[in-house]
Homo-oligomer: A and B are copies of this chain.
């Protein structure tokens, strides 16, 4: 079992990526995390997080809704958005602002800066958690008299698989 202090998913999944294992690890971590915080990792929340982790790609809310309805006939937009809000608050997923979409967090459980790498070819997403970037931004902002709290950083480009 993965350490509770190490990221579960970093970078783009290579050809050796066993997604079954990846998924289970992520879900197990989510469950443990919620428990430890006294939050409930309910059936609905688990279902939605599973759907998000079906691929290493951002998923749109209504796409999620459609897929969720296969398991849960009455699901409506609020069902999805409420669950997404919960998962965002618990740091289990990230919102991709430039796509209006949501993607699993590969390193839940600790606060960390987030920089997303989004492939414009296949839409795969990898996640950096680079303090140097965060520090530099804070510093540059500070020189303008701006007190930086957080940042949305989404890099668009081409992932290793697509460029080869």
Contacts and interface: CB of A to CB of B under 8 A. Distances in A.
B152 A153 contact: yes
A128 interface: yes
Interface string A119-150: 11000001010101100110011001111111
Contacts of A133: 133, 136-137, 140
B145 A149 contact: no
Given A148-B155, A155-B146, A117 B141 contact: yes
A73 to B, nearest CB: 31
Interface string A86-116: 0000000000011000000000000000010
Interface stretch (A27-35, A41-49, A55-63, A156-164): A156-164
Interface residues of A, number: 35
Nearest to A142: B157
A151 interface: yes
Given A132-B136, A137-B133, A147 B120 contact: no
Given A133-B140, A146-B157, A151-B156, 9 more contacts: A117-B146, A117-B148, A128-B141, A145-B160, A146-B155, A147-B157, A148-B155, A152-B152, A152-B153
26 contacts: A11-B144, A11-B145, A97-B98, A97-B154, A117-B144, A117-B148, A126-B144, A128-B140, A132-B136, A133-B136, A137-B155, A141-B155, A141-B157, A145-B163, A146-B158, A146-B159, A147-B157, A147-B158, A147-B163, A149-B157, A150-B155, A151-B154, A151-B156, A152-B153, A152-B154, A152-B155
